[in-house]
Structures are given as structure tokens and as C-alpha cells.
């Protein structure tokens, strides 16, 4: 499997990010700042599937936006192949845009309804000037086939609007793969999908990793997902990475309270239910 | 057990593109006993939310209940006059929706909204509304209830709003709480907390709960009995123990196998179900799961199985376990 000692493609070093507070009525200039990230360091190493797990609001998605270069850290730096993002030249920036792709939770919002499925998938080829115009359509169909979608013309011309959730997420994945990226950032990629379809998408990701050793960062609040896919995991809480290591050892002997809580919730969801009536309240649940 | 809610062979139809009607729910059976927690599980588009809305006769226009019966608290919901219908909605039964951000009125205080049902249904004097609201907010586990009463929805987090909605639904002391995907916007830790809260409320208030979720694992944590929907119809009804130990419908079995579990030795494939849920109303004349079913045989593609009683309180809609079929020509 992936060489976990691979060189980092992306790395955050001591990054901090603050936002003006949301909610609450506050006038004037002295808006309170909310610390979204507080001295976070994380490496995404070549060939690995790294899990980034944490509760809502723990800073996972903010960290992803910094790694993608969509936002700039207030402190610290993000590097791409060892070079700080701010120091990248124009061509290097374009290479980052090509080499690192992202798939979000809600493919509804991510797919332009005015484009055809084929247009959505082939657009990055044009943007990055990757194939001669005449070959882009054929390449787009290959990408659709790669994610298990029909490669025929009728599907190519369809609007993303009529697709099921699983199909939309596959289209988003095909688009992400179009530029031949070295790393994928997957932000809750299956949490909007039905259980019977979720497995198909997860297996697709695993199959892809087996074949091409594509580096992946999987962001999720559900430890069960990370346990299934990742060799290494980082746990976030309150804008910090509180624990990091091989998935199995982190989940089996968590040291930080945030990891303990997340792992307990995942175990609670994994257990076969007790028979008969519901548990009496006050009983410490099913934490074993 | 006396049922507090009973849905029998429910069909909900919407006008189709031509000039006819298309049934997007057709064949839902559901029973919730007094004080019982029942899970209603199924994937998107299978009819969960429409079933919940039918209990309150809240099917959005131009949709209509095309067939079947709906009874809540012993009364025929489809025959209620306006006055009794309004005492059902929020009085006898409370409803919590999926999206807490949209269900609260942005220009009314939390206290006003939480106490609304009590003022409306129990005739609570306005002077007592604030203290009742604070009590309810405390009951659903919110901190600083006296301050929250004066707050407005935008000042709360998603998890807090979800609990406020729960408090709203409890205000008139209902006998049935219908919670439609109350956890789907929450992380796993909050999901657990909400389920444990529902468990406490249910025990303290002797409340019947219809817990609707696409997540079988979550339903298995809370519900005593589970009703499984697929493609607009009930395919299996069982106690949670029966369901988890011995699922009888192939779809239930597939759902069970597709569950994520925390144990795992690194990357491993998940069992999957081929294909996808058919779009609402777009199903053939045979068993609606047959196109995806690994056990389907010829009859499954031509005839539609009826929901058959296998044992007392245990039902499944599958020719592998029951022989009965639905009369043809339903569509």
C-alpha cells in the first residue's frame, strides 16, 4: 500500500486562522474574533490516505481551504512540495491547481446545472490545456467510465440536475480526476449519500488508491469512515490537531478527550443494538 | 398496545407531467404504540417525510393522500374538521423537522416560539409563557434557559436550534413526537447526545416517538420497533432485535451489511448494493427492489409482493418469505 514515509505534497506548519465572530448583535469595529485554527501542523504524504476527523466546527474544513490555497493563514505557512504557497510563481500556482483537487460534501452545489455532465467533467481539461480540443470529449468519457458512470453520448449530454446523489458525487470525482491530480482532498464525500450507495463511492476511492496510489485527505466527522479507509489519522478539536498517528492505535488507545468522545460515538453506532426495551435513562449507555 | 398512530396502505400522489397523478408513496404501513419508540428508516425518496406529513395532514399542495387510512389518537386524520386538525398539530402530536435553520421564525424570540403551542393548545396565560419556555429549554438540555428565552434564532448554533425545536414540539405536552431526520445535520457526537436526550424525554413523559432517519445504525440505538421503507412502500416491520439479528427482506439485509463499523484493520471494501434507489413513482409492476436484489427470481419481476405477517408483529414484503401478492393494476 501507500508509502507512509512518502514526501509531503502539502504541509501546514503552525497555521492559525481567525474569523470575525458570527451571530450576536455587535456594532462598531471591535468585532470579536473566533479562532478557527490555532497552531496546526499537518503533512499530507505521497501515497497515503490520511483521515482528518473531528466534530463540526473543529476546524477541519478551514484547514482544507488553507491547504488548497483558497485562504491564507494569519500565521504560519502552507507548503506545496516544500515551497511556501505565497512564494509560488504563476506557473507553480497553476500546477498546484492541477495537482491538488477537491471533492465537497454536496455535489448539488458543486456542479453547474447549466453545464452538461460531459462539460462539467471535461472543463478542467480545457482550463489546464491538457488535451487537444478534439480529444477532450473522448477523455471525458474515459473519466466517466473510470468512476463507474456510463460513458455514452446520452449520459455525456445530460444535465447534472437529473442525477441521483451517488451519480452526482461520481461526476464530481471524475471532474476532480480530470487534470490527473497527485492528491485529492475529500471533504465529507459520502455524508450526503444513502447507505446503499455510500459503499459504492468508498470502494471506488479505495480501488483508485490501489491502482494509482493517489494521495488522499479524507475529512469526516464519523470515525467509522476514517477507520474504514485511512492508514493514518489526525484528530481535530477546537482548532488544533490534538492527536495524530496510525488509525488503529489512535482509535484503540486514544489519549485526548476529543478522540475518546469521537471513538466512543463511533463504537456506540457500530454495536448491535441491545434487545428488548430501550435502555433505562441514566445508564451510562453502551460505552464499554 | 394501543396504537397512538396508525398508517395503513397509504398512497400519496402528485400531478404528473401529463394530466394524471403519480403515486410517490404507495403501500406504507406504520404503527406506533402508546409510549413506544418506532424507527422509520429508508433512503432518500422512499417516502419517509411524506409519511410523517400525512400523520398531520400536511402533504404539500398539490399533493394529495390518494388512498389508505391515517389514524392518530384514535381519530381518522383524513376526516378531521379544522378545529380538531389544529388540536392534533402541535397539540396531540409534535413535529420536529430536519432543518432547524428554516423552521424557526427569525423575528420572534425563542421564548415566544417555544411557548406558542402551550398558549395555543393549552390556553396558557402569557404571563406564564416565559417560565414554561425556560423549563422546556432546560428539559432539552440547553444551558442558561432564562437568558435563551430572550434570544433570537440567529444567535444560536445549529445544535442549539435543533433542541429549541424539540422544546417547541414538547410545549403542549403531546403524546406523540414525530422527529424527521433530527440528527442528519449533526456530527456523530451530537447525534449520540440527541438520541440519548430523546430516550430520556420519552421515559420521563411517557412519550411515543416516531424517529425518522436514513441511518439504520442510529435507529437501532433508539427504536424498539423498526419500519423499513423502500421506494414508497413498507418492506419490513420488526422489533429492533429481530431486525438486526435476522432481517427478512433482502433490502434490509443489504442495508445492514452496508453499515459502517468502527472495527477494521485499515482499508477494506464495503459490501454494496448494486444500482440506486428508483426515483419516486418510477417503479415497475413487480417488486420494487427486484432490479437490485441478488435473490430475485422470475415472479419478483412480474408480481408485487404484499406485506405478509410472518409472526406476530413481524411483517415483510418479499416472495422469499411470504406468498401473498398485491392485486395488479394498481398503477
Q: Is A284 on the interface with B (CB under 8 A)?
A: no
| Per-residue pLDDT, A278 | 41
What is the pLDDT averaged over residues B238-264? 90
What is the pLDDT averaged over residues A215-230? 94
A247 vs chain B: nearest CA distance in angstroms? 7
Interval B290-305: pLDDT, tens: 999 999 999 999 999 9
Q: Domains of chain A: which residue ranges?
A: 8-270
Nearest to B96 by CA among B155, B181, B204: B181
* Domain interval for residue B224: 1-92+174-189+200-259+273-285
Q: Is the peptide bond before A37 cis (omega within 30 degrees of 0)?
A: no
Tell me the sheet residues that pair with A113.
Answer: none
Q: How confident is the model at residue A172 (pLDDT cuts 50, 70, 90)?
A: very high
| Per-residue pLDDT, B160 | 87
- Indicate the CATH number of A8-270 among 3.60.15.10, 3.40.50.800, 3.40.50.300, 3.30.43.10: 3.40.50.300
Q: Which long-range contacts (CB under 8 A, 24 or more apart) does B84-88 make?
A: B85/B57, B86/B120, B87/B121, B88/B56
Q: How confident is the model at residue A283 (pLDDT cuts 50, 70, 90)?
A: very low
Interval A153-166: pLDDT, tens: 888 899 888 888 88
**Residue numbers in B near A264 (CB within 8 A):** 192
- Kindly list the distances between the CA atom of residue B221 and the CA atoms of A7, A266, A286, B39, in Å, as whole numbers in the listed order: 43, 12, 10, 10
Q: Is A31 on the interface with B (CB under 8 A)?
A: no
Please state the pTM of the whole predicted model: 0.89
In a domain, B123, yes or no: yes
Q: Which of A66-75, A105-114, A158-167 is predicted with the least confidence, judged by mean pLDDT?
A: A105-114
| Per-residue pLDDT, A282 | 35
What is the pLDDT averaged over residues B141-150? 93
Tell me the sheet residues that pair with B5.
Answer: B32, B72
What gap in Å lies between CA B130 and CA A244, rounded to an integer? 47
**Residue numbers in A near B261 (CB within 8 A):** 224, 227, 270
What is the pLDDT averaged over residues A71-95? 95
Regarding whether B247 and B160 lie in a shared domain, the answer is no
Interval B160-189: pLDDT, tens: 888 999 999 999 999 999 999 888 878 999
Regarding whether B223 and B163 lie in a shared domain, the answer is no
Counting Cα atoms < 13 Å in the Cβ hemisphere of B72 gives 30
- Report CB contact under 8 Å: A199, B258: yes
Tell me the sheet residues that pair with B32.
Answer: B5
Regarding whether B56 and B182 lie in a shared domain, the answer is yes
What gap in Å lies between CA B77 and CA B87, rounded to an integer? 11
In a domain, B77, yes or no: yes
More confident position, B127 or A13? A13
| Nearest Cβ partner for B272 among A200, A263, A264 | A200
Nearest to A44 by CA among A97, A17, A16, A6: A6
Regarding whether B57 and B11 lie in a shared domain, the answer is yes
Regarding whether B182 and B281 lie in a shared domain, the answer is yes
What number of C-beta contacts closer than 8 Å exist between A and B?
A: 158
- Cα–chain center distance at A19: 22
Q: How high is the mean pLDDT of chain B?
A: 91
A27 pLDDT more than 70: no
More confident position, B70 or A194? B70
Which run of H or of E encompasses A38?
strand A33-45
Q: How confident is the model at residue A130 (pLDDT cuts 50, 70, 90)?
A: confident
In a domain, B17, yes or no: yes
3-state per-residue secondary structure call for chain B: CCEEEEEEEEEEEEECCCCCEEEEEEEEEEEEECCCEEEEECCCCCCHHHHHHHHCCCCCCCCEEEEEEEEECCEEHHHCCHHHHHHHECCCEEEECCCHHHHCCCCCCHHHHHHHHHHHHCCCCHHHHHHHHHHHHHHCCCCCHHHHCCCCHHHCCHHHHHHHHHHHHHCCCCCEEEEECCCCCCCHHHHHHHHHHHHHHHHHHCCEEEEEECCHHHHHHHCCEEEEEECCEEEEEEEHHHHHHCCCCHHHHHHHHCCCCCCCCCCCCCCCCCCCCCCCCCCCCCCCCHHHCCCCCHHHHHCCECCEEEECCEEECCCCCCCCECCCCCC
In a domain, B318, yes or no: no
What is the pLDDT averaged over residues B249-261? 90
What is the pLDDT averaged over residues A6-26? 82
What gap in Å lies between CA B165 and CA A277, rounded to an integer? 26
Regarding whether B151 and B44 lie in a shared domain, the answer is no
Regarding whether B88 and B209 lie in a shared domain, the answer is yes
Tell me the sheet residues that pair with A33.
Answer: A20
- Per the listing, cell 433490502 goes with B251
B41 pLDDT more than 80: yes
What gap in Å lies between CA A135 and CA A139, rounded to an integer? 6
B241: closest chain A residue by CA: A275
Q: How confident is the model at residue B45 (pLDDT cuts 50, 70, 90)?
A: confident
Q: Phi/psi at B292 (nearest 5 deg)?
A: -110, 0
Regarding whether B69 and B125 lie in a shared domain, the answer is no
User: Which ipTM was obtained for this model?
Assistant: 0.87
Q: How confident is the model at residue B122 (pLDDT cuts 50, 70, 90)?
A: confident
CATH number at residue B17: 3.40.50.300
Chain B segment 268-287 residues within 8 A of A by beta carbon are 268-273, 276-277, 279
Q: How confident is the model at residue B264 (pLDDT cuts 50, 70, 90)?
A: low
Interval B192-246: pLDDT, tens: 999 999 999 999 999 999 999 999 999 999 999 999 999 999 999 999 999 999 9
Mutate to test the interface with B, among A278, A282, A288 (most CBs of B within 10 A): A278
- Report CB contact under 8 Å: B188, A229: no
Chain A segment 45-84 residues within 8 A of B by beta carbon are 49, 55-57
A121 pLDDT more than 70: yes
Amino acid at each position: 500500500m501507500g508509502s507512509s514515509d512518502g514526501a509531503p505534497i502539502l504541509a501546514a506548519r503552525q497555521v492559525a486562522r481567525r474569523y470575525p465572530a458570527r451571530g450576536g448583535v455587535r456594532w462598531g469595529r471591535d468585532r470579536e474574533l473566533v479562532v478557527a485554527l490555532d497552531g496546526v501542523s499537518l503533512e499530507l504524504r505521497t501515497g497515503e490516505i490520511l483521515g482528518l476527523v473531528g466534530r463540526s466546527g473543529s476546524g477541519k474544513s478551514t484547514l482544507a481551504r488553507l491547504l488548497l490555497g483558497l485562504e491564507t493563514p494569519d500565521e504560519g505557512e502552507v507548503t506545496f512540495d516544500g515551497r511556501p504557497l505565497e512564494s509560488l510563481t504563476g506557473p507553480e500556482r497553476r500546477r498546484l491547481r492541477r495537482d491538488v483537487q477537491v471533492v465537497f460534501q454536496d455535489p448539488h452545489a458543486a456542479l453547474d446545472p447549466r453545464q452538461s455532465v460531459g462539460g462539467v467533467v471535461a472543463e478542467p481539461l480545457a482550463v489546464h490545456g491538457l488535451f487537444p480540443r478534439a480529444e477532450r470529449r473522448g477523455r471525458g468519457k474515459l473519466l466517466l467510465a473510470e468512476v463507474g458512470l456510463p460513458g455514452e453520448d446520452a449520459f455525456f449530454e445530460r444535465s447534472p440536475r437529473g442525477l441521483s446523489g451517488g451519480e452526482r458525487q461520481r461526476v464530481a470525482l471524475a471532474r476532480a480526476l480530470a487534470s490527473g491530480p497527485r492528491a485529492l482532498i475529500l471533504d465529507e464525500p459520502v455524508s450526503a449519500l444513502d447507505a446503499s450507495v455510500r459503499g459504492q463511492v468508498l470502494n471506488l476511492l479505495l480501488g483508485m488508491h490501489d491502482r494509482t496510489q493517489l494521495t488522499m485527505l479524507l475529512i469526516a466527522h464519523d470515525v467509522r469512515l476514517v477507520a474504514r479507509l485511512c492508514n493514518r489519522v489526525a484528530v481535530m478539536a477546537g482548532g488544533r490537531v490534538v492527536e495524530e498517528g496510525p488509525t488503529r492505535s489512535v482509535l484503540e488507545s486514544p489519549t485526548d478527550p476529543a478522540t475518546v468522545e469521537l471513538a466512543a460515538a463511533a463504537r456506540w453506532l457500530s454495536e448491535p443494538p441491545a434487545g428488548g426495551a430501550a435502555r433505562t435513562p441514566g445508564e451510562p449507555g453502551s460505552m464499554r | 398496545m394501543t396504537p397512538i398512530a396508525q398508517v395503513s396502505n397509504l398512497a400519496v400522489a402528485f400531478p404528473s407531467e401529463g394530466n394524471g397523478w403519480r403515486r410517490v408513496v404507495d403501500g406504507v404501513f406504520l404503527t406506533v404504540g402508546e409510549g413506544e419508540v418506532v424507527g422509520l428508516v429508508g433512503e432518500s425518496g422512499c417516502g419517509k417525510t411524506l409519511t410523517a406529513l400525512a400523520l398531520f395532514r400536511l402533504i404539500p399542495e398539490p399533493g394529495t393522500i390518494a388512498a389508505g387510512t391515517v389514524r392518530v389518537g384514535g381519530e381518522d386524520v383524513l376526516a378531521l374538521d379544522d378545529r380538531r386538525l389544529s388540536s392534533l398539530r402541535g397539540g396531540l402530536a409534535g413535529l420536529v423537522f430536519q432543518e432547524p435553520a428554516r423552521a424557526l421564525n427569525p423575528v420572534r424570540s425563542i421564548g415566544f416560539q417555544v411557548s406558542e403551542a402551550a398558549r395555543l393548545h393549552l390556553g396558557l396565560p402569557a404571563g406564564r409563557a416565559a417560565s414554561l419556555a425556560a423549563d422546556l429549554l432546560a428539559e432539552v438540555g440547553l444551558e442558561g434557559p432564562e437568558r435563551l428565552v430572550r434570544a433570537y434564532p440567529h444567535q444560536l448554533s445549529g445544535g442549539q436550534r435543533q433542541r429549541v425545536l424539540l422544546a417547541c414540539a414538547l410545549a403542549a405536552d403531546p403524546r406523540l413526537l414525530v422527529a424527521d431526520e433530527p440528527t442528519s445535520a449533526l456530527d456523530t457526537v451530537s447525534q449520540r447526545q440527541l438520541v440519548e436526550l430523546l430516550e430520556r424525554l420519552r421515559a420521563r413523559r411517557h412519550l411515543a416517538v416516531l424517529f425518522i432517519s436514513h441511518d439504520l445504525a442510529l435507529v437501532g440505538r433508539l427504536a424498539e420497533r423498526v419500519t423499513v421503507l423502500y421506494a414508497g412502500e413498507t418492506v419490513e416491520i420488526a422489533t429492533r432485535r429481530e431486525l438486526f439479528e435476522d432481517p427478512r427482506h433482502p433490502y434490509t439485509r443489504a442495508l445492514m451489511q452496508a453499515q459502517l463499523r468502527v472495527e477494521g484493520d485499515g482499508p477494506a471494501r464495503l459490501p454494496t448494493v448494486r444500482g440506486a434507489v428508483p426515483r419516486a413513482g418510477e417503479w415497475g409492476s413487480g417488486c420494487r427492489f427486484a432490479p437490485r436484489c441478488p435473490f430475485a427470481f422470475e415472479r419478483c419481476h412480474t408480481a408485487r409482493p404484499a406485506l405478509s405477517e410472518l409472526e406476530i408483529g413481524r411483517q415483510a414484503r418479499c416472495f422469499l418469505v411470504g406468498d401473498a401478492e398485491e392485486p395488479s393494476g394498481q398503477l
